Amino acid sequence: MTRPPALLVLADGTTFEGYAAGHLPDDRVTTGEFVFNTALSGYQEVLTDPSYAGQIISFTYPHIGNYGVTPLDDEADRPWCSGIVVRELTHIPSNWRSVGPLEGFLRQHRIPAIVGIDTRRLTRHLRSHGALPGAFGHADEATLIAAAKLAEGTDGKDFVSMVSTKELYERGGGEFHVVALDYGIKTTMVQQLASRFRVTVVPSSLSADEIRSLNPDGVFLSNGPGDPAALSREIDVLEDLVGTVPIFGICLGHQLLATALGGSTFKLPFGHHGSNHPVKDLVTNKIEITAQNHNYAVRPDSLVRGIVSHVNLNDGVIEGIAASELDCFSVQYHPEAGPGPHDARYLFERFEALLRDSSLGVH
């Protein structure tokens, strides 16, 4: 397969040579913040995770696309990432579930890619220098260097309003009614909730009074993209809700809940993106292998209310908080794990137990 030569240029001037693939934009330039993902499989779930809005994903696994794509693996109705970086993109997939090659999927959804890149070198550079904005494409080098210098990261950016649902919708059934705030919710997350509860997924823009008017037994806070500190409206809503209804948050939802409890967040150097992060439950002392995708984390010792319940064994990052007196808890990692291990799916049962035992709620 003949591909046009392409360049990848980071904001610090570091340059990589490769070939343009996937969707080829008319201006031949793609910009975003470069991050790397270490998962060995699940590339379609990664691509369609709305939490990657504004970012360019570099896959550390060298062969991507081996088993093709299937609508069954979509975590959203479209990818929200800006582009992808791959060492080798397979054009002839082999899997009984496959409905086509990954490159066709990229073209269908207008996602540019650059292939043939030394992703090992790129990963080592990002680990040393942190996530960096930049550009790639098959434009001339001067154009790409200029675009890389102008490229922006995710600091101070609200991507949630872009990826959140515009209309509420319902899924599942059960004894309890859960309102799920969609900051960029994944399909697997909705499925896990809907297997236990009657779920109403709502736009992130709803006010606390609008949420209460839906008569929830509990409120769920989803994952999502961007800088939690930029979401002052969403934080205000949670400050109003905390202590009036049981709350469970994941990823961005965890960061927003922590902020509503008086905490603050900071940006990690290169984030956690993968499916093999060890986390310790400080209550049970059990170790879980978890799937993660976040660039920001809760700042240590910043919580005014609540306790730290989980920590990352690689770097000590806060992975969970709880405030039992307020009937709320959250985790930084992904218990629904699409892709990834299912060690932490017990947390959905913990949420169900909280709803059953809680004296809060609007009913």
List the pLDDT tens digit at each of the 363 positions of the chain: 789 999 999 999 999 999 999 999 999 999 999 999 999 999 999 999 999 999 999 999 999 999 999 999 999 999 999 999 999 999 899 999 999 999 999 999 999 999 999 999 999 999 999 999 999 999 999 999 999 999 999 999 999 999 999 999 999 998 999 999 999 999 999 999 999 999 999 999 999 999 999 999 999 999 999 999 999 999 999 999 999 999 999 999 999 999 999 999 999 999 999 999 999 999 999 999 999 999 999 999 999 999 999 999 999 999 999 999 999 999 999 999 878 888 889 999 999 999 998 766 544
Question: Into how many domains does the chain fold?
Answer: 2
Q: Give the orientation angle of helix 252-260 with respect to helix 232-241, to 10 degrees.
A: 60
Residues 182 and 286 in one domain: yes
**Which amino acid is it at 344?**
A
User: Residue 46's CB: how many other CB atoms inside 10 A?
Assistant: 27
Buried b (16+ CB within 10 A) or exposed e, 131-160: bbbbbbbbbeeebbbebbeebebbeebbbb
**Domain span at 83:** 5-150
In the chain, count H helices and then E strands.
10, 19
For position 362, what pLDDT does the model report?
A: 47
Is-contact 64 43, C-beta < 8 A? yes
Domain boundary, last residue among 99, 115, 150:
150
The confidence score (pLDDT) of residue 94 equals 95
Give the separation between CA 299 and CA 74, rounded to whole angstroms: 32
Residues in the chain: 363
- Spatial contact of 82 and 54, defined as CB atoms under 8 Å apart: yes
pLDDT value of residue 339: 83
In a domain? residue 362: no
Do the domain assignments include residue 174? yes
pLDDT reported for residue 128: 96
In a domain, 363, yes or no: no
- Given 126, 150, 174, the domain boundary residue is 150
CA–CA distance, 73 with 86 (Å, rounded to integer): 19
Active site residues: 251, 334, 336
**Is it true that the peptide bond before 339 is cis, omega within 30 degrees of 0?**
yes
107 and 82 in a common domain: yes
Q: What is the pLDDT of residue 340?
A: 82
Asked whether the whole model's pTM tops 0.85, one would answer: yes
Whether residues 315 and 185 share a domain: the answer is: yes
Nearest to 300 by CA among 285, 286, 278, 321: 321
Cβ within 8 Å of residue 140, ≥6 positions away: none
Do both 74 and 176 map to the same domain? no
The answer on 244 and 318 residing in a single domain is yes
- Phi, psi dihedrals of residue 338, rounded to the nearest 5°: -130, 95
Residue at token pair 């900051």: 183
Contact 272, 294 (CB under 8 A): yes
302 inside domain = yes
Establish how many alpha carbons lie within 13 A of residue 344's alpha carbon, considering only the half-sphere containing its beta carbon.
Answer: 30
Q: What is the CATH number of the domain that holds 100?
A: 3.50.30.20
Regarding whether 234 and 122 lie in a shared domain, the answer is: no
Domain end (from 124, 150, 176): 150
- Tell me the DSSP string of 180-212: EEESS--HHHHHHHHTTSEEEEEETT--HHHHH
- Please tell me whether residues 140 and 230 are part of one structural domain: no
Specify whether 38 is located in the same domain as 135.
yes
pLDDT value of residue 363:
44
